[in-house]
Protein backbone atom coordinates (compact mmCIF):
# COMPACT_ATOMS: atom_id res chain seq x y z
CA UNK A 1 0.00 0.00 0.00
CA UNK A 2 1.00 3.60 -0.52
CA UNK A 3 1.35 5.22 2.90
CA UNK A 4 1.74 8.94 3.56
CA UNK A 5 3.29 10.19 6.82
CA UNK A 6 2.16 13.62 7.98
CA UNK A 7 4.69 16.07 9.40
CA UNK A 8 4.47 14.79 12.97
CA UNK A 9 4.77 11.07 12.29
CA UNK A 10 8.16 9.72 13.40
CA UNK A 11 10.18 8.66 10.34
CA UNK A 12 11.64 5.50 11.94
CA UNK A 13 8.20 3.89 11.82
CA UNK A 14 8.73 3.41 8.08
CA UNK A 15 11.29 0.66 8.68
CA UNK A 16 8.52 -1.43 10.28
CA UNK A 17 6.17 -1.08 7.32
CA UNK A 18 7.71 -3.70 5.08
CA UNK A 19 5.90 -4.24 1.83
CA UNK A 20 4.49 -0.71 1.83
CA UNK A 21 5.60 2.37 -0.07
CA UNK A 22 6.12 5.15 2.48
CA UNK A 23 6.29 8.84 1.56
CA UNK A 24 6.73 11.82 3.88
CA UNK A 25 4.55 14.91 3.33
CA UNK A 26 7.63 17.12 3.57
CA UNK A 27 9.44 15.07 0.97
CA UNK A 28 6.87 15.87 -1.70
CA UNK A 29 6.33 19.51 -0.84
CA UNK A 30 3.18 19.10 1.23
CA UNK A 31 4.64 20.38 4.49
CA UNK A 32 2.42 23.45 4.64
CA UNK A 33 -0.86 21.73 3.77
CA UNK A 34 -3.53 21.75 6.47
CA UNK A 35 -5.27 18.45 7.29
CA UNK A 36 -8.20 18.82 4.89
CA UNK A 37 -5.93 19.79 2.02
CA UNK A 38 -3.42 17.08 2.90
CA UNK A 39 -6.09 14.39 2.93
CA UNK A 40 -7.54 15.60 -0.36
CA UNK A 41 -4.13 15.74 -2.06
CA UNK A 42 -3.23 12.31 -0.69
CA UNK A 43 -6.42 10.79 -2.05
CA UNK A 44 -5.94 12.41 -5.45
CA UNK A 45 -2.35 11.15 -5.57
CA UNK A 46 -3.47 7.59 -4.87
CA UNK A 47 -2.30 7.14 -1.29
CA UNK A 48 -4.25 4.45 0.53
CA UNK A 49 -3.23 5.22 4.12
CA UNK A 50 -2.44 8.44 5.97
CA UNK A 51 -0.44 8.00 9.17
CA UNK A 52 -0.98 11.07 11.33
CA UNK A 53 -0.27 12.31 14.84
CA UNK A 54 -3.16 14.79 14.93
CA UNK A 55 -5.52 13.47 17.60
CA UNK A 56 -8.08 16.13 16.72
CA UNK A 57 -8.35 15.08 13.09
CA UNK A 58 -11.64 13.26 13.59
CA UNK A 59 -13.14 16.41 15.11
CA UNK A 60 -11.75 18.78 12.47
CA UNK A 61 -12.60 16.81 9.35
CA UNK A 62 -15.59 14.91 8.01
CA UNK A 63 -13.97 11.54 7.41
CA UNK A 64 -17.11 9.61 6.49
CA UNK A 65 -16.70 9.96 2.73
CA UNK A 66 -12.93 9.65 2.54
CA UNK A 67 -11.32 7.11 0.26
CA UNK A 68 -8.11 6.97 2.28
CA UNK A 69 -7.68 5.03 5.52
CA UNK A 70 -6.44 7.26 8.33
CA UNK A 71 -4.41 5.97 11.24
CA UNK A 72 -3.87 8.42 14.07
CA UNK A 73 -1.08 7.94 16.59
CA UNK A 74 -2.02 9.64 19.83
CA UNK A 75 1.62 10.25 20.64
CA UNK A 76 4.47 11.33 18.36
CA UNK A 77 7.32 10.81 20.83
CA UNK A 78 9.62 8.12 19.43
CA UNK A 79 10.44 6.52 22.83
CA UNK A 80 6.71 5.82 23.26
CA UNK A 81 5.84 5.01 19.65
CA UNK A 82 8.68 2.55 19.17
CA UNK A 83 7.16 0.20 21.75
CA UNK A 84 4.14 -0.26 19.49
CA UNK A 85 5.72 -0.71 16.07
CA UNK A 86 4.22 -4.18 15.64
CA UNK A 87 0.73 -2.85 16.35
CA UNK A 88 1.21 0.14 14.07
CA UNK A 89 2.37 -2.17 11.27
CA UNK A 90 -0.62 -4.45 11.87
CA UNK A 91 -2.97 -1.45 11.74
CA UNK A 92 -1.47 -0.35 8.42
CA UNK A 93 -1.74 -3.90 7.08
CA UNK A 94 -5.41 -4.05 8.14
CA UNK A 95 -6.35 -0.57 6.92
CA UNK A 96 -8.60 -0.44 3.90
CA UNK A 97 -10.31 2.45 2.15
CA UNK A 98 -13.65 0.69 2.77
CA UNK A 99 -13.05 1.01 6.52
CA UNK A 100 -12.15 4.70 6.41
CA UNK A 101 -15.14 5.73 8.48
CA UNK A 102 -13.64 3.97 11.50
CA UNK A 103 -9.93 4.02 10.92
CA UNK A 104 -8.67 6.15 13.78
CA UNK A 105 -6.17 4.39 16.00
CA UNK A 106 -5.24 6.42 19.08
CA UNK A 107 -1.91 5.60 20.71
CA UNK A 108 -1.21 7.25 24.02
CA UNK A 109 1.32 6.86 26.82
CA UNK A 110 -0.95 4.92 29.14
CA UNK A 111 -2.49 2.83 26.41
CA UNK A 112 -1.01 -0.64 25.82
CA UNK A 113 -2.65 -0.90 22.41
CA UNK A 114 -3.64 1.31 19.54
CA UNK A 115 -7.25 1.60 20.59
CA UNK A 116 -7.55 1.78 24.37
CA UNK A 117 -8.69 -1.68 25.32
CA UNK A 118 -8.63 -3.59 22.06
CA UNK A 119 -6.38 -6.37 23.29
CA UNK A 120 -3.79 -8.17 21.22
CA UNK A 121 -4.66 -7.07 17.71
CA UNK A 122 -5.57 -3.73 16.21
CA UNK A 123 -9.13 -3.18 15.14
CA UNK A 124 -10.65 -0.72 12.75
CA UNK A 125 -12.87 1.56 14.74
CA UNK A 126 -13.07 3.27 18.03
Domain hosting residue 97, numbered range: 2-102
Torsional sign, CA 48, 51, 52, 56: positive
- Asked, for residue 58, whether it belongs to a domain, the answer is yes
- Asked, for residue 12, whether it belongs to a domain, the answer is yes
pTM, whole model, 2 decimals? 0.77
pLDDT in tens, 65-80: 778 888 888 888 999 8
What is residue 94's three-state secondary structure?
Answer: helix
- Say how many domains are in the chain: 1
Cα 122 to Cα 88: distance, rounded to the nearest angstrom: 8
> CB of 103 within 8 A of CB of 71?
yes
Classify strands 21-24 and 2-5 as parallel, antiparallel or unpaired. parallel
Point out which residues pair with 50 in neighbouring strands: 4, 70
- Asked, for residue 46, whether it belongs to a domain, the answer is yes
> CB of 21 within 8 A of CB of 67?
no
- Asked, for residue 120, whether it belongs to a domain, the answer is no
Q: Which of 20, 21, 12 is nearest to 84 (CA)?
A: 12
pLDDT in tens, 25-61: 999 999 888 878 999 999 999 999 999 888 877 777 7
Amino acid sequence: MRVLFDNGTPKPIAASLTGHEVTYARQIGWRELENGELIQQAEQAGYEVLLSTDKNLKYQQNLSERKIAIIVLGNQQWPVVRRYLDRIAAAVDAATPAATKKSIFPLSKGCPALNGSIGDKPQLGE
